[in-house]
Amino acid sequence: MEHTNEIMANAVSLTPDMSVLDLGCGYGSTARYLAANFGCAVTGTNISEKELELARSRATQAGLDHLLSFEYGDFHRLAYPDDSYDVVWSQEAFLHAVDKNAVLSECRRVVKPGGSLVFTDILVRRSTPEADREKIYDRVKSPDMWDLQDYRQALFQLELPVTREEDWSRHVGRSYAWVRDRLLENREALAPRIGYDTIDRTVEALSFWVDSANAGNIGWALFVATKPS
């Protein structure tokens, strides 16, 4: 994820005078990275108040709260004026959207003319069998997941020209296998906190994702699109 931050930040040539909107900001680690390394102001949005609370606390601890703000926000209906941000940013969040067209439309609305939308997302290939697709969705509680072609088409229809696209699918199986293996290594230490059943179900679900990725059913991609001036 740290490498992903570097790639995405370089893709949009961040400078201290830029403003960034981070959609689905989680605990705010990416926002802190951007503020610390590029000096830009970042607004992080999320629908989890617990995660937002921790993001604010960590921003203060890092001495970055003068550059960072974290707010409740549904990316289907953003509470920001048109043309508000130089960069709209998101990592592995759009897969949770009920209406991805609405989310991308909102991204276009709030980014400034000449500004960039940069995002990564986990994909489900169009050729994936329906039974496997449903099992993949259940792992992340997603209503729908798109493939590369779906994002390309949506961005084209929104008149957001794609300036960079990278298929990172070859890294998915290895990445999720690493997470699974660390969970197994720490099974005994984690069991008193979350229980063996939760650990074992998670390991099983992660193993299915690894197998699905290696079978070519799960992908990962980067998109950079620019709003016309």
H or E segment at 39? none
User: Which whole-number Å values give the CA distances from 27 to 44, 50, 58, 71, 97, in the listed order?
Assistant: 9, 9, 8, 12, 19
pTM: 0.94
d(CA 168, CA 155): 19
pLDDT tens digits along 4-49: 999 999 999 999 999 999 999 999 999 999 999 999 999 999 999 9
20: amino acid identity, one letter: V
CATH class assigned to 2-124+140-169+216-226: alpha beta
Encoded tokens for 24: 């689905």
Are 45 and 72 spatial neighbours (Cβ–Cβ below 8 Å)?
A: yes
Question: DSSP character for 160?
Answer: -
Number of C-beta neighbours around residue 64 at 10 A: 19
Q: What is the pLDDT of residue 1?
A: 81
pLDDT tens digits along 104-156: 999 999 999 999 999 999 999 999 999 999 999 988 889 999 999 999 999 99
Q: What is the pLDDT of residue 2?
A: 83
